Every structure is written in C-alpha cells, then in structure tokens.
C-alpha cells in the first residue's frame, strides 16, 4: 500500500459520502433493628434532630438500591486495561468478515461485556457482497441498572460504537491494531467503567459492528449495491424500522483511536451541536489539542446512523495515521495514553449529557 493509494481510496470514500449527502439534502438500607434491642440505651433522638435518615419503609427496602457511581467517572478509564483488550484482539491475527478468526474476536468481545455485567445480543444477518453472500454479526451490549433480565430496550439514549473486523488483504498480514482493534478494546474498557455507574450504563448502547471494511471499494450508506459499512447499515436500518431510533439523542463512533500521535480528525460533516459538546469535554480535560477538523467528510460507520437512523453521530477517528491499511498497523504504533484520552473524553461527555 502506498500513501498515494491511501488517498485515492480516501478520496473515493469522501466523494461517495458527499454524493449521498447531496442526494438527501438535507440507600443504603441499614440492618433492620428491633426496637427492643435499643431498650437499655439512652432515649434516641428523633431522626430529624440527629440528622440520621429515617428508617426506610418496607417498600424501599424491597427495591434494590442503585449505587451512584464515581463522581468523576472519566478518571476510572484505564489506558492499560484498554490496551490489554486491544492486544487480545490483535493476537487473534487478521480478522476479516466471515472468517473463523473474526468469530474468535467476537467471543472475546462477548466475554468482556458479560464479565462487566452487560447483556449481549448477536445481530446476525447475511448480505450480498462483491464476493458473494457473507454472514455478518453485530454484537450489542445493554445494561440494566436494576439487574432486570432481559434488559429493557427503551432506556438507552446514546450509542457508542466501533467496528471489530479487519480489512482483508492477500498480499500482507494485516492485523489492524488501530484500524479495528484499538476502538474495540477501548469499548470493552468503557463497558467496565460504565458498569461502575449502573444508572448511566443503562442509558448507553454499546455496538460492535461487523463488516465495516469494504471487500473491494466503499459505497455510500444508501447505495443499493453496498460494499463496506455492512454492520452499521443493518443496525441503523433495524433501529429505524423497529422505531427505536427515536429514543437515541446521539451516537459516538470510535475508529482508529490508538495512534501514539493522537490527532482526532473530525469529518467536516460532523453534527455541529454534538461536536461542540465533545470539544467542550476535551477542553474540560485539557485535551483539546488532540482534535483537528478534517477538510472533508469521511465515509465510516457513523454515516448510516446519521443518514438512515437519523441519529446525530460523531466519528472520533484519527485519519492522520501513516500505517493505515498497511502491515505496519501493529501494536508498536499504539499507546495506552491515546486510548485513555478518547475514553475519558467520551465518558465526560456521556456524564455531561446523560446526567447521573
Ligand atoms: Zn480500515
């Protein structure tokens, strides 16, 4: 792969995206005490006078208390833990759609989600591709604050997502450390951290897309002969058709977020309000210098969410990555710090916008 080829492909993705856009115009319950147990003690002050909360009513005792979660939850995101998840993905080897290797990667994702208390749904579908029909599987994580199973599907207000497949090459061994594994591993760490605040976790849907990579050449989200973005097209269409799309306020896509030299190149068609909010979180954490605005749009998994499901979705992608789609996209190019920064900004934004 040469840099020239990289930009050729990029330009194609950008142009296709622009065309598609044009076409649309557009309580703690203390141990229950028996009163007689305190009979030989001094008369107790009334709860109001002592500042001690009144004893919970039986109804409150029956409800499972939801722990409040850390006040500064973004500080809980560990770059090192995220990096270990990334390593596990990379160690599977090349993971193109429809291969046994991608199934191994999928099992790692499912195990990680369940370990953190998330319910897992496999969204399986078959799509025609330039190489014939291929079966794809999106993995979706949902969380219940009260431990309810199955997890209700009407509490989620935001989507955080990543693709987990890697591009298929016959000439090089491509393991997609940043392009595929970085965002996938970081999303598993995000799942662990969100679970510390069950009320917040219940408002988030985590999605791992299959088939982001094109078999031959990317096409726009609304193309009738699609190539690439298979998982996100299907997921967005399901959201639209099931009428769940309306419950989501926004989406955040992570892609290629592991580069040591982190530069998030925000596509020029990023939803303005969402962009302002995310940049405010970056500012609040002193990380604004890692963001730049890309002069064009980038065809990626956020586009089907924006154009099919109509959910404003931002693509946090570091497209300024010389190892993109080369054999050099390996763990050595990545740093835990970059994963930590994107994780922290996202958590800060989720806390600001979705509250406690
Ligand atoms: Zn790629």
Residues 151-187: tens digit of each pLDDT: 999 999 999 999 999 999 999 999 999 999 999 999 9
Distance CA(122)–CA(101), nearest Å, equals 17
Residue 48 within a domain: no
Question: By residue range, what is the domain housing residue 326?
Answer: 3-20+73-354
Q: How many domains does the chain have?
A: 1
Beta-strand runs (E) in 263-302: 264-266, 291-293
Residue 94 within a domain: yes
Distance CA(178)–CA(261), nearest Å, equals 12
Distance 124 CA to ligand 1 centre (A): 21
CB-based contact 179:166 (threshold 8 Å): yes
Distance 218 CA to ligand 1 centre (A): 10
Residue 133 within a domain: yes
Chain position carrying tokens 């917040």? 200
Distance 211 CA to ligand 1 centre (A): 10
Distance CA(92)–CA(121), nearest Å, equals 22
Distance 168 CA to ligand 1 centre (A): 9
- Residue 63: the pLDDT is 58
CB-based contact 270:338 (threshold 8 Å): no
Residue 51 within a domain: no
3-state secondary structure 255-269: ECCCECCCCEEECCC
Asked whether residue 148 carries a pLDDT value surpassing 90, the answer given is yes
Report which secondary-structure segment, H or E, holds 193. helix 183-194
The pair of structure tokens assigned to 23 is 């076409």
Distance 90 CA to ligand 1 centre (A): 14
Reference 87, options 207, 202, 210, 186; nearest CA is 186
What is the residue-wise DSSP string for 35-82? GGGGTTSPPPPPHHHHTPPPPPPHHHHHSPPPP---TTGGGG--HHHH
Cβ-Cβ contacts under 8 Å for 197 (sequence gap 6 or more)? 67, 68, 69, 70, 73, 356
Residue 50 within a domain: no
Distance 178 CA to ligand 1 centre (A): 9
Distance 325 CA to ligand 1 centre (A): 6
The pair of structure tokens assigned to 147 is 């431990």
Residue 26 within a domain: no
- Residue 202: the pLDDT is 98
Residue 298 within a domain: yes
Residue 60 within a domain: no
Distance 56 CA to ligand 1 centre (A): 55
Task: Band the pLDDT of 41: cuts 50, 70, 90.
Answer: very low
Distance 293 CA to ligand 1 centre (A): 20
pTM: 0.83
Asked whether residue 147 carries a pLDDT value surpassing 60, the answer given is yes
Reference 172, options 324, 4, 327; nearest CA is 327
For residues 61 and 210, the model is more confident at 210
**What are the C-alpha distances in Å from 234 to residues 8, 81, 207?**
27, 30, 12
Q: What is the CATH number of the domain that holds 162?
A: 3.40.630.10
Task: Band the pLDDT of 67: cuts 50, 70, 90.
Answer: confident
- Residue 66: the pLDDT is 82
Q: What is the pLDDT of residues 195-238, one digit of tens each?
A: 999 999 999 999 999 999 999 999 999 998 899 999 999 999 99
CB-based contact 32:59 (threshold 8 Å): no
């Amino acid at each position: 792969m040469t840099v020239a080829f990289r930009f050729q492909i990029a330009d194609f993705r950008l142009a296709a995206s622009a065309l598609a856009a044009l076409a649309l115009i557009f309580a703690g319950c203390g141990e229950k005490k028996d009163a007689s147990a305190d009979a030989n003690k001094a008369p107790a002050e009334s709860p109001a006078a002592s500042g001690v909360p009144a004893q919970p009513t039986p109804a409150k005792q029956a409800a499972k208390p939801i722990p409040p979660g850390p006040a500064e939850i973004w500080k809980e995101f560990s770059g090192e833990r995220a990096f270990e998840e990334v390593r596990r993905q990379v160690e599977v080897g090349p993971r193109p759609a429809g291969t046994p290797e991608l199934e191994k990667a999928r099992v790692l994702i499912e195990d990680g989600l369940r370990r953190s208390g998330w319910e897992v749904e496999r969204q399986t579908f078959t799509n025609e591709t330039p190489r014939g029909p291929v079966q794809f599987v999106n993995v979706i994580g949902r969380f219940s604050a009260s431990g309810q199973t199955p997890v209700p599907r009407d509490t989620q207000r935001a989507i955080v997502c990543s693709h987990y497949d890697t591009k298929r090459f016959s000439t090089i061994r491509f393991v997609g450390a940043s392009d595929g594994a970085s965002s996938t591993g970081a999303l598993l760490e995000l799942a662990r951290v969100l679970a510390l605040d069950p009320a917040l976790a219940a408002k988030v849907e985590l999605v791992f897309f299959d088939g982001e990579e094109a078999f031959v050449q990317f096409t726009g989200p609304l193309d009738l002969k699609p190539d690439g973005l298979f998982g996100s097209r299907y997921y967005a269409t399901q959201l639209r058709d099931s009428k769940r799309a309306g419950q989501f306020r926004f989406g955040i896509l992570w892609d290629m977020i592991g580069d040591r030299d982190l530069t998030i190149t925000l596509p020029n068609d990023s939803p303005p309000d969402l962009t302002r909010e995310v940049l405010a979180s970056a500012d609040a954490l002193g990380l604004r210098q890692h963001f730049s605005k890309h002069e064009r749009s980038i065809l990626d998994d956020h586009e089907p969410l924006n154009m099919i499901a109509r959910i404003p979705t931002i693509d946090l992608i570091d497209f300024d990555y010389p190892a993109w789609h080369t054999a050099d996209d390996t763990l050595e190019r990545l740093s835990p710090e970059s994963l930590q920064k994107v994780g922290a900004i996202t958590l800060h934004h989720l806390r600001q916008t979705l509250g406690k």
